Structure 1
Amino acid sequence: MKKTIITLLLCVFVSQANAGIRQYGADLEHANWQLTNNSRLECTLSHQIPNYGEAKFYSTASRKMNMEFELDMMRLPDTYSLAEVRSVAPNWRPGKNGRTIANMKLHKQFAPSLPKKVAWNMLNELEQGMNPTFYYNDWYSDNDLISVGISTAKFNRAYQEFIGCVGNLLNYNFDDISYTVLNYQFGGDSLTKSSKKRLTMIAEYLTLDQNLALVLIDGYTDSYGGRNDNLKISNRRANTIREHFVKSGIDPSRIEAKGYGEKRHIAANNTVIGRAQNRRVVIRMEQP
């Protein structure tokens, strides 16, 4: 029923026979696309909509390609409803047919968003010179229709920068490395090959994310050797990792390192595999 009402109102809008329509969109003079986040952790392509808010496409560091669109309204929805998302031809392309892209849910007091497939679809429409436009009933007046247009003007240059940023995102994120166990070869401070690779990933992430509150480094050993010696070894291992991060440019005040020796075994010490698991450094990261 709601979709039927929106479609009927949309037809009225196209014929411009209804005076109860409020239109929002940036004209050629005020159209402004910007790459507001440009890092290996997040890329954000933003477009200001005068007197309404901001349209944002963003992608974040992850093992899987991701993309999302958000319509950041100055005045958030006051009730649940649907908005129809259409691709509309600009005035300079008369006769070009538009099409419906998706329906977007509007939740009370939340900025609405659209998932990856729809977001990429909208970007493709913009690249082709079309204007994605949102139509929905005003939640303060059921007789009024809101139209919010995203302008294609001045889009392509910022879009190319955005695509370059997305292609340079890390292929892992905070959740992938927030709790990491590094293992050592027997009888020394040499990390295993896989742990060296993991350490490089963590150091790279820490140089990029300056918002991490604290990095905790805990060192452990197996039960071979004397307890005092093992305590010293575990402290040395933990502090070696700390020094590695500091040399990578991480603020020393963000890092705490401590050795626990033979304490807190996670496996039996009577097997080669168990002892290898106990020879470890655990890295924990906390966000504010």
Structure 2
Amino acid sequence: MRSWPFMLFLLLCSSLLSAGQSYIRQYSAALEQSEWHLKHNNPLRCEISHPIPGFGEAVFLSEAGKASDLWFELKMLQQPDAYDLAEVLSLPPRWRPGEQPRAITNMRLLKQFDGDLPKESAWAMLHELERGYQPTFYFSDWYRPDNKVVASLNPVQFPPVYQAFNQCIANLLPYQFDDIAFTVLSYEVGGDQLTRESRRRLAAIAEYLKHDDAIEVVQIQGHTDTWGGRWMNEELSVRRAEKVKRFFVQAGLPEERIEVEGFGQRRNVAPNQRVQDRATNRRVVVQMNRP
């Protein structure tokens, strides 16, 4: 069923088509079909999606990391077979009679790729949906350039999902896997007490491990400086690594995914004459792997 904004839009489109240009293919969820889903809602990934019957799916997503990023993907059942541009317009709702469609941006169509838009355009589309408008994609059929394709997002059922999406984004971790996949933890002199900065770092890794089920193995390698006997340093390096392991297990990481090894003073990375060099050698290296 065609909504009023689409009827207006189709009339505007029709005025642009010459007599030899055949028709417009329209895709949009009817009022009773409109669905918005919160597909991912955790500190690592936030994602909402909207099915467009017969055409594909619209997806907005944001992931953990230092930059608060957001992007949009238009997943098409039939991917483009040519390079082109799609106009992205905002169609007014029924309660705004007489208002004209407004341009949001242009989206590149790449051969055999889904369409995507960066942060600024994605936020613009979300704001239009929040206002009850319909972000709409308008482009030429790659097999029949004289024909037009129109695909639209329906704002019905959008507000509660958008509210949850915004809350999810606010709770994203300010770091991602690559930021912590290889971490060196430092120790105070003569024991298994981490430095203050390393304790914060360890807590951040543990928080990440609570949410990423894809972690296959965590390797923990303990090291010491050369002060003290070789055997004592060997034992100390194992004790340091085991203490980190216990911390991760308490955070919920299965014990069988953790590998522990102590090298004592055998793999020093700095000389041991100066205080700062010995501090560099007192360390535990944490390395995480996933597919």
- Which TM-score bucket, shorter chain as reference? over 0.9
Structure 1 CA distance, aligned partners of 2:95 and 2:261?
Answer: 67
The one of 122, 144, 148 aligned to 2:147: 144
Equivalent position of 2:277 in the other structure: 274
Deviation at 1:166, TM superposition (A): 0.8
Structure 2 CA distance, aligned partners of 1:162 and 1:249?
Answer: 26
C-alpha offsets along residues 200-253 of structure 1, whole Å, 9 cap, x if unaligned? 000110011011111111111011111111111111111111111111211111
Structure 2 CA distance, aligned partners of 1:10 and 1:114?
Answer: 24
C-alpha offsets along residues 169-211 of structure 1, whole Å, 9 cap, x if unaligned? 1111111111111000000000000000000000110011011
Relative to structure 1, is the Cα distance of residues 124 and 205 closer, same or farther in structure 2, using a 3 angstrom cutoff? same
**Superposition map of 1:101-250 within 5 A:** 101-250=104-253
Gaps of 5+ in 2: 1-8
How big is the alpha-carbon RMSD for the aligned residues of Structure 1 and Structure 2? 1.6
Structure 2 CA distance, aligned partners of 1:14 and 1:33?
Answer: 30
CA contact (8 A) 1:10 1:135 kept: no
Stretches (4+) displaced over 3 A = 9-12, 14-19
CA contact (8 A) 2:81 2:111 kept: yes
Relative to structure 1, is the Cα distance of residues 26 and 200 closer, same or farther in structure 2, using a 3 angstrom cutoff? same
Structure 1 CA distance, aligned partners of 2:82 and 2:272?
Answer: 61
Equivalent position of 1:30 in the other structure: 33
The one of 18, 30, 46 aligned to 1:43: 46
Aligned partner of residue 208 in structure 1, secondary structure: coil
Deviation at 1:93, TM superposition (A): 2.8
- Partner AA of 2:38 in structure 1: L
Please state if 1:78 is matched with 2:81.
yes
Q: Percent identity?
A: 47
Deviation at 1:16, TM superposition (A): 8.8
Deviation at 1:265, TM superposition (A): 1.6
CA contact (8 A) 2:141 2:147 kept: yes
Please state if 1:54 is matched with 2:57.
yes
Structure 2 CA distance, aligned partners of 1:268 and 1:144?
Answer: 73
Structure 1 CA distance, aligned partners of 2:84 and 2:118?
Answer: 17
Deviation at 1:266, TM superposition (A): 1.6
Aligned partner of residue 219 in structure 1, secondary structure: strand
Equivalent position of 1:97 in the other structure: 100
Deviation at 1:97, TM superposition (A): 2.2
Aligned partner of residue 222 in structure 2, secondary structure: strand
- Partner AA of 2:13 in structure 1: F
C-alpha offsets along residues 139-184 of structure 1, whole Å, 9 cap, x if unaligned? 1111111111011111111111111111111111111111111000
Relative to structure 1, is the Cα distance of residues 68 and 161 closer, same or farther in structure 2, using a 3 angstrom cutoff? same
TM-score, with structure 2 as normaliser = 0.92
Gaps of 5+ in 1: 1-8
- Partner AA of 2:100 in structure 1: N
TM-score, with structure 1 as normaliser = 0.93
Equivalent position of 1:13 in the other structure: 13
Structure 2 CA distance, aligned partners of 1:79 and 1:15?
Answer: 25
C-alpha offsets along residues 106-148 of structure 1, whole Å, 9 cap, x if unaligned? 1111111100011001101111111000011111111111111
Larger mean Cα displacement after TM superposition, 185-194 or 62-71: 62-71
